[in-house]
Amino acid sequence: MNTGILYATLAFLCWGLFPLYFHAIGEVPPMEILAHRMLWSLLFLVLVLSARQQWKWFPKVLQQPKVLLSFVASSLLLSANWGVYIWSVNNGHVIDASLGYFINPLVNVLLGQLVLKEYLRRGQWMAIAVAAGGVAWLTWQSGQLPWIALILGITFGAYGLLRKTAALAALEGLSLETMMLFPPALIYVLWLSYHGDNAFINTPHDSTRWLLVAAGPITAIPLLLFAAGARRIPMAVLGLLQYMSPTMQALLGVWVFHEAFTADRLIGFLIIWAALALYVVEGLWTGRRAK
């Protein structure tokens, strides 16, 4: 279990530091960063699968149209989530992006009830209602929905729902998704090159090129650590650890990127954090009572 906690903690630490990485390549347009993330992720995953001789699943999955269709949907959700997140970081909305991953666990619970018909306890309904109140407060104060947080929370929640019922494990599933995303990403990069707008070629900084190439391992390694940790520790422990990432991202937004964090905004975050606390405490109390 200690090894599992270590793996999961390292994964969430990596994800928590993502804003620093995307900010470092801020000269590259978000869509091109997204395309390079798809390209180099596939290359890295192919190397990992080849090193582990883990290709037996691939011919089998090609003969299962329903599985392929589900991964087309999950790859679209993943690319939408990645794209909005990259745009958010590079346009000064790190705190808004972190809010999306704070509300994601509650989105997961709600989707489980709506789609999988999972039973929700009274405490879980209360947590969702409190979080909805926080979103309503932020909407009223800013005059618009916190669309970045909602898109990130909903797309990643829907992605998690599809992966929960998927026929492939984390490594194989991510590899199949990146295979599906690879052709449009390659076409887009070639189109940029044809028009002379490829930042990978045009940038005067070699560091930017290396950072774009590093998108492969930077994307895949935390996911592999997460998968290894999730197999070794209880879901309750994993659920508590997952709040490390959005907490780190929110702190980076305030302390490193100096984003505005007004009192009204803080109230909205406090309401949503209260909802998360209610959700966690209720889950721990229910689990202890069941034992």
Buried b (16+ CB within 10 A) or exposed e, 7-30: bbebbbebbbebbebbeebeebeb
pLDDT at 167: 82
Q: What is the DSSP letter of 118?
A: -
The alpha carbon of residue 249 and the mean position of all alpha carbons in its chain are separated, in whole angstroms, by 12
pLDDT at 236: 58
pLDDT at 270: 92
pLDDT at 63: 93
Query: Which positions of the chain have pLDDT values less than 70?
Result: 1, 235-236, 239
- Cα diameter, the chain: 64
pLDDT at 122: 87
pLDDT at 1: 59
pLDDT at 85: 95
Q: For residues 97 and 249, is the Cβ–Cβ distance under 8 A?
A: yes
